[in-house]
């Protein structure tokens, strides 16, 4: 069976995408420029749509806990969605929803997502592989703060009592929801691979997060990139 994903390959050749991660730094930004950009949102970005005043063109969610918690909202999103194949029963495939296989990826960075996608310990890395497949020449990241408050070991599940301090909304994982602790070391390994793959193809990833702690990508001021008043 031919994957439906094949029809998406290269549809944005030469264009620019904004990868909208979910860190609290989004609250420090004027995001009105996103109405003019092709935005790739992650996980529970829908919690900020009214506040930030934009709607993503694409949405990526692969973590099992996130998809289970957000299933109804993800299904209601009127954008192209990439959901892990593991969660096919929770969020079924339809005209706007594509399932991606993350169980047996053929490579550490998958240029052909129809063959699989490597999760890389962070949904941002999945989105980078998807952006590459869609043909984007430049990917600008915002909201990737790369710092978290948590207890326990990386990747362990934990319950977050009270407000969520790690995302743009206090309700993101707040109120006793379970989330998986971040694994920053492995995430950075993934980001380095993504940067190398983009640069080998003559493309670029730029990190325009406000006060972001990740030092893997070239940094830039989002206001300069998008013409936002200072």
pLDDT digits 0-9 by tens, 196-226: 999 999 999 999 999 999 999 999 999 999 9
Query: Can you give the pLDDT at residue 2?
Result: 62
pLDDT at 96 over 70: yes
CATH code of the domain in which 127 resides: 3.90.1480
pLDDT at 135 over 90: yes
pLDDT at 1 over 70: no
Query: Can you give the pLDDT at residue 229?
Result: 82
Q: Which residue range is the domain that position 153 belongs to? A: 4-226
pLDDT at 48 over 80: yes
pLDDT at 155 over 80: yes
pTM: 0.97
Residue 79 and residue 23: Cα distance in Å, rounded? Answer: 21
Two structure tokens written together for 156: 């362990």
Cα three-residue angle 53-128-57, rounded to 5 degrees:
30
Query: Can you give the pLDDT at residue 193?
Result: 98
How many domains does the chain divide into?
1
């Amino acid at each position: 069976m031919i994957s439906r994903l094949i029809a998406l390959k290269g549809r944005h050749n030469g264009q620019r995408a904004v990868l909208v991660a979910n860190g609290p730094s989004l609250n420090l930004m004027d995001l009105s420029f996103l109405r003019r950009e092709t935005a790739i949102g992650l996980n529970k970005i829908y919690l900020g749509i009214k506040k930030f005043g934009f709607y993503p063109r694409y949405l990526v969610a692969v973590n099992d806990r996130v998809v289970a918690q957000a299933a109804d909202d993800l299904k209601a999103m009127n954008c192209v969605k990439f959901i892990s194949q593991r969660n096919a029963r929770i969020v079924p495939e339809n005209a706007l929803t594509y399932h991606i296989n993350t169980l047996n990826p053929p490579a550490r960075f998958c240029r052909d997502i129809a063959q699989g996608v490597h999760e890389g310990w962070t949904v941002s890395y999945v989105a980078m592989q998807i952006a590459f497949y869609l043909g984007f020449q430049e990917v600008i990241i915002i909201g990737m703060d790369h710092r978290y408050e948590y207890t326990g070991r990386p990747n362990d599940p934990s319950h977050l009592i009270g407000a969520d301090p790690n995302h743009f909304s206090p309700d993101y994982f707040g109120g006793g929801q379970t989330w998986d602790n971040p694994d920053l070391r492995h995430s950075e390994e993934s980001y380095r691979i993504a940067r190398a793959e983009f640069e080998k193809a003559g493309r670029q990833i730029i990190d325009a997060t406000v006060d972001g702690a990740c030092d893997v990508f070239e940094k830039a001021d989002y206001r300069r990139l998008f013409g936002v008043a200072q």
